[in-house]
Structures are given as structure tokens and as C-alpha cells.
Structure 1
Amino acid sequence: MEPRRLTLDDLDACTKLAEDRQWPPERHKWTLLFEVGEVYGVDAADGDGLAATNVLTRYGDDHAVVSMVLTASRYGRQGLARGLMEHVLDQASGRVVSLHATENGRPLYERLGFRTVGRVAKHTGVFEGRPSGSTRPATVEDLDAVLALDAEVFDTDRSALLRRMFSFGERVRVAEGGFGHCWRNDGNVVIGPVVAQDERTARALIGDLALDVGGEVRLDLDLAKESLVGWAGEHGIGAPWPVSLMVRDGELPGDRTRQFLPFMQALG
């Protein structure tokens, strides 16, 4: 069973594989990953869809993110996940590679040379608060400033991804020294990315985005940012589900102090 580069024609097979592992189908998310990343898979030997998948998303010449590491339940413990991981690590061409790992997946990534550098937890709930008065809806005229700030903070090129925010997402907001975006997943609205000069600005962006869309929202919060985690809990966003942020072949680029929420865990 050899890896191959998947296309949007394989979208149904990807969502079927996700559901086999009790993941939501997330068609909207998968579609974006096909657009900005490289989706790889192994066809099932029994002819029924895919046996395994993962996604490699490159940022510039120095960073890449691996995600959607899935193996069909009937093909578990046969080395497919490791083989496909080794394939995409070769494709990463010497870049620093990061990923978010569940406890089940972490031992495999450690054997492949990844190390844990942080903990991130999914928090969900209905935001309780009032508009900040310090953010506004973004327009396409704001995009150049957004891209410039993001390049400064991340120290790598994410422009191909960020240019899709206005078509992919529900809302984009800007503030003095920051921007934020949210997008609709299967069961809620995910807020991210949020990049800001300080936590006060990040809180304003998060709160205003949550109030814009209403209903349940999801924040993937860095647990080292304890005051932001506490603020989210005070405003109705709790029930954390943690994963490990792991890195291979170097250090994460950029200024992590100004990176308050990722676009999604699958994109770093």
C-alpha cells in the first residue's frame, strides 16, 4: 500500500475515514486543507476507501505543519501511520515541522523525533459578555496590513492561507495591533487565528467575534497563557480537551507571545 497525493475527488473517502475513527466529517475544513496543503493517503487493500491519511501544509521555506493523521480502524497497528508520517517528513524538505498530538498519537511522534513544547486545549461554550468597542469588521482593504503583521509575528509566510479568510470564514475583525477570524465547523464556530499586540487586544477580538456569530464557539487555547484561559472560563468558555504541541528539527518560528489562537490545530 503506497502513499499517493490525494485530490478533492477523494474528499468523500477522507470524511468516511474520519467518521470511522469517531471524528466529525468536517468537509469545510478538509476542503481548505486540500487548497493550502498536500493531502496524502494510502488506498485500502480491500478496495473500500482509504486506509490512512495525513496532511502537510508548508509555510515559506522554513516551517510545515502535519495534521489529519488517521488510520482506518481495521488497519490499526500495521505501521501505516508511521509509514505515511515518514513520507510527509521527507516531503517537508528540512523544514521545522510541528503538529498537535493526542495522547494516543504522541508516542509515535516521539519515536519520529518530535518533542513536546507546549499544551493546547480545546475550550467550548457560549460567550457571555459585551462588545468591546475597540474592534471593527475587516474589509479586503485591510488585508495587506493583516499579512504584514502576521509575517512579523510568525516570521514565516502564511499569506496563501490568510488570503482565504474572507471566503472561508464567518467573520474577520481588526483592531489596533491585531486581527482575528472565525470559521464555521460542523458543530460550532472556531475562533482563530487571533494575532495581537497584547492580551487586552486579543480578548477584544475574541469576544467581539464570538458575539458576532452567537451560539457555541471553540477556542484552542495555549495553556501557558493562564490569564487568557481564566478569562475565557469567566466568560462561559470551558470544558478543555488538551493535546500536545510538538516540534521536530528545530524551534517554532516567530513570537509566540503574540500568537493567541491558531487558525485551527490542523494548520498551527
Structure 2
Amino acid sequence: MTIRRLTQDDLDACTRLAEDRDWLPERHKWRLLFEVGEVYGIDAPDGDGLASTNVLTRYGDDQAVVSMVLTASRYARQGLARRLMEHAMEQAGDRTVSLFATDNGRPLYEQMGFRAIGGVVKHTGVFEGEPSGRTRPAAEADLDDIVKLDAELFGTDRSALLGRMFDFGERVRIADGGFGHCWRNDDNTVIGPVVARDEESARALIGDLALDAGGEVRMDLDEAMDGLVTWAVAHGMGHPWRTARMVCGGDLPGDRARQFLPFMQALG
């Protein structure tokens, strides 16, 4: 079975594969991944859609993220995910590669040399609170400052991705020394990324974005940030579900303590 680079023409097949594995279809998210990443797949031998997929997203010359590692249930345990992972790792070259792993996927990643460096816990709920008065809506004229701050704190170039926030997302907000974004997924509004020089600014950005969104929101909180997790839970965020952050090939660049929420787990 041949690995090929997928295109937007394969979007329907990708969403059907996701639903086969009891994931949401997430068409909006898939479209972004096609724009900023490299989507790889193996066609199903029976002619019915895709047998397996993954996505490689590169940031500059030193970092990459692997995501959307999916195999159709009827082709499970036939080595397809491993073949696609090996292909993505080849394409990544000398970059440090990271991903978020479920318990089911973690054994494969460990066999391929990934190591766990922490965890992220998804919390969902209706945020309860008042506007902070510390943030304001961002405009595209703010993008240069956003990209500059992100390059410093994230540690590599995400300008191609960040430039899409204003079209892809629902809101972008900035604070003194920070920025945040939220985007609509199938069943909730995801808060992220949030990058800031201090936790108080991050809380203001997260809270104001959540209040802007209304309804159910999702926050993928670093389990090591005890204070932020406690704050979020106190403001109505619950239903925790953990994934492991894993890395292969070196240490992640940047200041992880100031990266408060990822854009989405699929993008690191």
C-alpha cells in the first residue's frame, strides 16, 4: 500500500475515517491542517476511502508536530500507523518532533523513540466569570507584534499559522505582553493558542475569550500549571481528559511555562 500526500479533495475521506474511529468529523480543523501542514494517507485496499492518515506540521527549521494518526477500524493492527509515522519522521528530518498521545497510541510512539515530557488535560464547560478589563480585540495590524512575541516565547517561527487566526478563528485578543485566540470546532469553542509573559495576563485572555464565545468552551491545560488548572475549574471548567505530550529528537525550544494553551493539540 502506497503512502501519498493528500489534498483538500480528500477532505471527505478524512472526515469519514475520523468518524469510523468515533472522532468528530472536524472539517474546519482538517481544512486548516491541509493549509499549514502535510497530510499523508494510505488508500484503503477495498476502494472505500482511506485506510490510514497522519499530519506533519513544520515550524521553522527546528520543530515539527505529528497529529491525526488514524487507522480505519477494519485495518487496525496491520502496521499502517507505523508506516505513516516512519514516513512523517523522515520528512521531518533533523527537527525535534512532538505530539500528543492517547493511551492507545503511546506504545507505538515509545517504540519509535518518543518520550513523555508531561501531560495536557482537556477541560470543557461554560466559563463563569466577568470581563477582566485587561484585554482588547486584536486587529491584523497587531499581527507583527503577535508574531514577534510568539517567536520569542514559542521559540520558533509560527508566523504562517498565526497569520491565519483572523480568518480561521472567532476572536483574537491581546493584552500587555500576551495574545490569545479562539476557534469554533464541531461541538464547542476551543481557546488557544494563549501565549503570555505571566499567568495573570493569560487568565485575563482566556477568560475574556471564553466570555466572548459564550456556550461550551474547551481548554487544553498543561497539568503542570496547577494554579491555572485550579482557576479554570473554579470558573466552571470540568470533564478532564488527559493526553501525554511526547517528544523525539531533542528538547522543545522556547519557554514552555509561558505557553499557556496550544493552538490545538494537532498543532502543538
SS in 1 for 2:240: strand
* 1:161 aligned partner: 161
Q: How many angstroms apart in 1 are the aligned matches of 2:3 and 2:203?
A: 42
How far residue 32 of structure 1 moved from its aligned partner, in angstroms, is 0.1
Tell me the amino acid that sits aligned with residue 207 of structure 1.
G
SS in 1 for 2:172: strand
How far residue 154 of structure 1 moved from its aligned partner, in angstroms, is 1.2
Unaligned runs of 5+ residues in structure 1 are none
* 1:44 aligned partner: 44
* 2:7 aligned partner: 7
The answer to whether structure 1 residue 227 and structure 2 residue 227 are counterparts is: yes
Deviation string 1:125-166 (CA, Å, 9 cap, x unpaired) is 000000000000000111000000000001100000000000
Deviation string 1:95-148 (CA, Å, 9 cap, x unpaired) is 000000000000000000000001001100000000000000000111000000
SS in 2 for 1:156: coil
Unaligned runs of 5+ residues in structure 2 are none
The answer to whether structure 1 residue 175 and structure 2 residue 175 are counterparts is: yes
Tell me the amino acid that sits aligned with residue 48 of structure 2.
D
The answer to whether structure 1 residue 146 and structure 2 residue 172 are counterparts is: no
Q: How many angstroms apart in 2 are the aligned matches of 1:250 and 1:105?
A: 20
Deviation string 1:42-70 (CA, Å, 9 cap, x unpaired) is 00000000000000000000000000000
Structure 1-normalised TM-score? 1.00
SS in 1 for 2:187: coil
Tell me the amino acid that sits aligned with residue 97 of structure 1.
V
Q: How many angstroms apart in 1 are the aligned matches of 2:231 and 2:155?
A: 28
Tell me the amino acid that sits aligned with residue 164 of structure 2.
R
How far residue 2 of structure 1 moved from its aligned partner, in angstroms, is 1.1
The answer to whether structure 1 residue 236 and structure 2 residue 236 are counterparts is: yes
Tell me the amino acid that sits aligned with residue 147 of structure 1.
V
* 2:129 aligned partner: 129
Q: How many angstroms apart in 1 are the aligned matches of 2:249 and 2:239?
A: 33
The answer to whether structure 1 residue 32 and structure 2 residue 36 are counterparts is: no
* 2:203 aligned partner: 203
Q: How many angstroms apart in 2 are the aligned matches of 1:190 and 1:17?
A: 22
What is the root-mean-square deviation in Å for CA atoms of aligned residues? Answer: 0.4
Q: How many angstroms apart in 1 are the aligned matches of 2:111 and 2:27?
A: 31
Identity of aligned residues (%): 75
Tell me the amino acid that sits aligned with residue 21 of structure 1.
R
Tell me the amino acid that sits aligned with residue 228 of structure 2.
L
* 2:265 aligned partner: 265
How far residue 21 of structure 1 moved from its aligned partner, in angstroms, is 0.1
SS in 2 for 1:143: helix
Tell me the amino acid that sits aligned with residue 194 of structure 2.
V
Q: How many angstroms apart in 1 are the aligned matches of 2:221 and 2:172?
A: 19
How far residue 205 of structure 1 moved from its aligned partner, in angstroms, is 0.2
* 1:190 aligned partner: 190
The answer to whether structure 1 residue 86 and structure 2 residue 86 are counterparts is: yes
Q: How many angstroms apart in 2 are the aligned matches of 1:68 and 1:137?
A: 31
Aligned length: 268
Structure 2-normalised TM-score? 1.00
Q: How many angstroms apart in 2 are the aligned matches of 1:34 and 1:49?
A: 17
Tell me the amino acid that sits aligned with residue 112 of structure 2.
L
